[in-house]
Amino acid sequence: MPPLKSTSVLTAEARHAVSIVLNGTPRTGHAHPRLLLSDFLRHELGAHGTRVGCEHGVCGACTVRIDGVAVRACLTLAVQADGRRIDTVEGLSQGNEGRMTALQEAFRRHHALQCGFCTAGILMSLTDYLDRNPKPTEEELRDMLSGHLCRCTGYAGIVRAVMDVTGRTVREVAHV
Ligand code: FES
Ligand code: FES
């Protein structure tokens, strides 16, 4: 993905038009130059599926895909996303004829979520990661998941869900 930067001249006090393709649909909103992409999605466009936790890049709750690449929306300015495709958790089923994706179904089957606060970000990271690495080892998967904080699950269900959806049996990871 090319570097994220706005080509427009921005002024701090003005709200600037930001046009994105959100889950396949063109959307335009307005943002001050310092507005975070996470806040732009939630408050300007009403896309509340993206969660906001730490707001400084640690927890991973706000992860979305920009032009296919998983990115922390709390570390990205809305104006940097102008002209980009943004995919959020709402778009997963939209791209699957309205049904949950195999990964989402596996999360449900393996109780990979409890409060669900972290889940949207983890799903968006995983969809990018599994596109690039469709058969991760458990060690690779756990390394990837270390970029996400989940207070509820202990990660065991998440690991089982991903192993399941990538074609490995639950028994292989039954010791987690
Ligand atoms: S809210 Fe973005 S990483 Fe925590
Ligand atoms: S399911 Fe509650 S924080 Fe992860």
- What are 128-169's pLDDT values in tens digits? 999 999 999 999 999 999 999 999 999 999 999 999 999 875
Q: Looking at this protein, which amino acid is placed at residue 138?
A: E
Domain extent listing, the chain: 16-88, 97-173
Q: Mean pLDDT over residues 62-74, rounded?
A: 98
Residue 41 in tokens: 């999605």
Ligand nearest to the CA of 119: 2
pLDDT band of residue 8 (cuts 50, 70, 90) is: low
Q: How far apart are CA 79 and CA 115, in angstroms?
A: 31
Is the CB of residue 150 below 6 angstroms from any atom belonging to ligand 1? no
Domains 16-88 and 97-173 share a fold: no
Which has the closest alpha carbon to 73: 60, 90, 89?
60
* pLDDT tens digits for range 111-123: 999 999 999 999 9
Domain 16-88 has CATH 3.40.50.720: no
Give me the torsion for CA of 111, 105, 167, 128, rounded to 10°: -100
For the domain made up of 97-173, give the CATH fold.
DNA polymerase; domain 1 (1.10.150)
* Local structure of 90: helix, strand or coil: helix
Which has the closest alpha carbon to 112: 147, 63, 62, 164?
164
C-alpha 51 – ligand 1 centre gap (Å): 8
Is the CB of residue 59 below 6 angstroms from any atom belonging to ligand 1? yes
Please indicate, yes or no, whether the overall pTM of this predicted structure exceeds 0.75. yes
Mean pLDDT of the chain: 91
